[in-house]
Each structure stands twice: as C-alpha cells, then as structure tokens.
Chains A and B, each alone.
Chain A
Amino acid sequence: KNQVEQSPQSLIILEGKNCTLQCNYTVSPFSNLRWYKQDTGRGPVSLTIMTFSENTKSNGRYTATLDADTKQSSLHITASQLSDSASYICVVSGIGGGSYIPTFGRGTSLIVHP
C-alpha cells in the first residue's frame, strides 16, 4: 500500500529562524512529489513539485529536496515569517494503476511565534 509519512507532526519556531520538514514515502514506481501549504480555514495550495531527476528546487524562502533512492524529501524554510504558520503536506504520485492518484501525508503543523 502506498504510504507517505511526515515528521515532525508539529513544530514551533521563532520568527526569523529556519526549519526543515521531512517526508518519507513508499509510492513506487515514483512520478512526482509535491509540497502543499494549507493555511487555517483554507484548502491546500501547491508550493513546489519534484520529479525523479530533480534533487533541489527553490520557491522563494522554500527549498525542497528529493532523494529518490532513499524515498525521502525535505522542505526547508529560511528566515521564517509569521505568515509561514500553516500545515505543510507532502503528496506523492506514482505511475500506473491507481498510483497516479496522489497519496497525501498527514502534514506537519508549523507555528511561527514573534
């Protein structure tokens, strides 16, 4: 069964600090991995997509990494801001059968304090 595990479950940091969120998956064969940001009371929004051949991709202060061999990804947030407080969800899609339908992790809840 395809699974996506995220850690930590929750994280509290001070404004201006950096943090890293982790994602491990078992989806195979692998197609792509996305990180979504979900603000309170809103639907998730895609931040970045990683495909098999990509190791690192940045989107402003967000940098995602992918190690397809170990089936791990991370999302690094630099110089955190209060607006970064949200849930970050790792979503993995596979190839073939029903695996092309995205598998969602349960998310990491990030709180940034002033």
Chain B
Amino acid sequence: EVQLEQSGGGLVHPGGSLRLSCAASGFTLRSYWIHWVRQVPGKGLEWVSRITTDGRTRFADSVNGRFTISRDDTRNTLYLQMNSLRAEDTAVYFCARDEGSGTPLDFWGQGTLVTVSS
C-alpha cells in the first residue's frame, strides 16, 4: 500500500529552524517528484517546493533561500529543512508525490502542523 508518513512538526520561535520528514512506503521515493504544499488553517493550498527524480529542487519565492529539501534514499525519506522561520510560515505542511511535470499529485501525506510563535 502506498503511504506517505509525515513527522517533525511543532512549535518554534520566529527565526528558529525545524525539519519535516516524509517517509514513503509501498513505493520508491526517488522514482517520483515529491512536493511540499502548505495550508494556513482555514485557508487554501499553497505550493512550497519540490524535488525531481534527479534531485533538482525548486521553491516558492516566499521560502526561497530559507527552506531546503534533501532525500535519504536508504531510508526512503524526504526532508524539508526550514530555517529563519516567520509567523507567516505557520501552516499544515503536506508532502505529496507525482510522476513529473504535468502529472497530478496522486498520494498525499497526512500533514503536519508547524506553528511559528513567540
């Protein structure tokens, strides 16, 4: 069964860092593009970042330079490293997979809440 299991959310002070994890089961993570999408509670979906099968990454302007993505193929797990966090980064973060440009996000993680507050 295909699953994306997320972990790593929590409360962090402004300026702090947090690392989110997205562990895949039932498929090989490196064979898919993996995206991060976030959602401020009560609001819509916002695309954050993605990594391709060959390791190319891209980020939304709002997080570029502060967030990075890495992948551990031995653990079949993806990480979103979030630095210099701001209050406006507070959201539920989802990881999701697709098969490349133009394909749909066909499986999603359950989401993890990140709260940036003093």
**Pair from one complex:** no
